[in-house]
Amino acid sequence: MRNDKFRDPIHGFIEVRPYEKEIIDSAPFQRLRNIKQLALTSYLYHGAEHTRFGHSIGVMHLATRAFRSAVSKGRYQFASGDENDKCIKWLEQILRLVALTHDLGHAPFSHAAEDLFPEKPTKAASEKKKYYKHEDMTEKIIKETEIADIIKKIGDQYKKELGEKYDITPEMICDIYSGRNPGEKSHFTFLKTLMDSELDCDKMDYLLRDSYYCGVTYGKYDIDRLISCLTIFTKDRDEAPYLGIETGGIQAFEAFVLARYFMFVQVYFHRTRRYFDLILSKALKECLPDHCFPIDVNEYLKWDDVKVMSLLREKADSNRYARDVIYRNHWTCVYHTKVHPQSDGFELFSLVKESLKHEFDSRNFKTDFLVDTSADKLPHKIIPQKHEIDEEETIAIWDESKNRVSTISDESKIINSLTEKIDIRRIYCSDKFAAQAKVKIKSLLNDRDDEEEECEDNG
């Protein structure tokens, strides 16, 4: 059977294998055509209409490139003798399936609806409440739909071609992505780092894709150089392999981290985008049956952006949040902190909020002000000045000329300097009180002689 080719605006032609094409053609995967990658960001950046469909195929493509680049260096053997080539072929197919299916469980409008999953059942009344996440729904979709049957067929193919031990199952795909039970096949941890780490292919794709469709340059970096410098490390010969970078790729990795930082500051946490994320969540909480998405897989798969927008149109006359989403009404941001507020910045934010509460009675504040305190993100999760090689807390650097392993913390001042959270906090106000609120805030800041002032809301 011949491979298909998908023409992608970011990566050019992407080869897709026959059984992978079956997954792409399946109903659960086709649903991703109607799940926008960036929720309602198109209200701000009109080109941002791209979906999880293209992203998922792009991640599979990049994961394959990254895997082949790292493996080609020959620094690690997955098995002895002739079995190594078989193992590499098998692992590549597993990785492609993990990458292709990793976003199947996203709710409508992606992360904007992340807090609308139902509560998980608890064993004891004293147990802390836990809620389903999109990763849980991904696992259910992989295991409980036609996707499972296709993956089993791929497993049968590999057992027939390579041997019985080279099976691929839906359970295996889910265990690798979630980091569960690597067991004797500890090289699965290497696959995990390609999909979920500070150097993963998910981030590699969404930065380039989001930047392209938003029409901005913040998310661009040298993808070819970064991938060409990937390699494999182990602490000791018998330990699990994990992803690292050759010394020539340090600057490419720094650019990659900076691209992510700039995209969060300029796009993902833009004040207008954040406002629509907040009100979309509020609208859905009030309009969804049982105030959350269903947990039954077949019912859940019926929900996509199209169905949500249809529901909100029905409720627009009676629900102001739904009305704002449908008619693209957004309140004015009357105050915000700096990107990296210090303790005095948080204190000032609290002071402004309490002053507005006092200025406007509590009823008006509750109905005409919206406070956002959740727009926070670390630029990266690498622990500064951590010099031990650890796949979750740093990035290993291989210097071939010196035959030496170091870490990104040893080599990069840029990475070490990006340690503070992006923690922007905002207050939005309805048009009814916006001008009055701005006057109050300006008076308060002038009295304190603070430089930070109210938002200039330009959309």
Q: Which of the residues are catalytic?
A: 134
| Residues paired with 13 in a beta bridge | 7
**Torsion over CA of 27, 36, 108 and 200, rounded to 10 degrees?**
90
Give the Cα separation of 355 and 105 in Å (integer): 42
φ, ψ dihedrals at 437, nearest 5°: -65, -40
| Residues paired with 376 in a beta bridge | 423
Residue type for 337, please? T
Give the Cα separation of 4 and 17 in Å (integer): 6
Helix axes 188-195, 83-101, angle to 10 degrees: 30
Question: Is residue 418 within 8 Å of residue 405, measured between CB atoms?
Answer: no
Residues 6+ apart with CB under 8 A from 272: 43, 44, 330, 459
Question: Is residue 428 within 8 Å of residue 333, measured between CB atoms?
Answer: yes
Neighbours of 261 (CB within 10 A): 19
**Torsion over CA of 212, 213, 215 and 218, rounded to 10 degrees?**
-50
- CA 201 to chain CA centroid, nearest Å: 11
Give the Cα separation of 231 and 360 in Å (integer): 59
Structure tokens at 248: 């020539």
Question: Is residue 19 within 8 Å of residue 157, measured between CB atoms?
Answer: yes
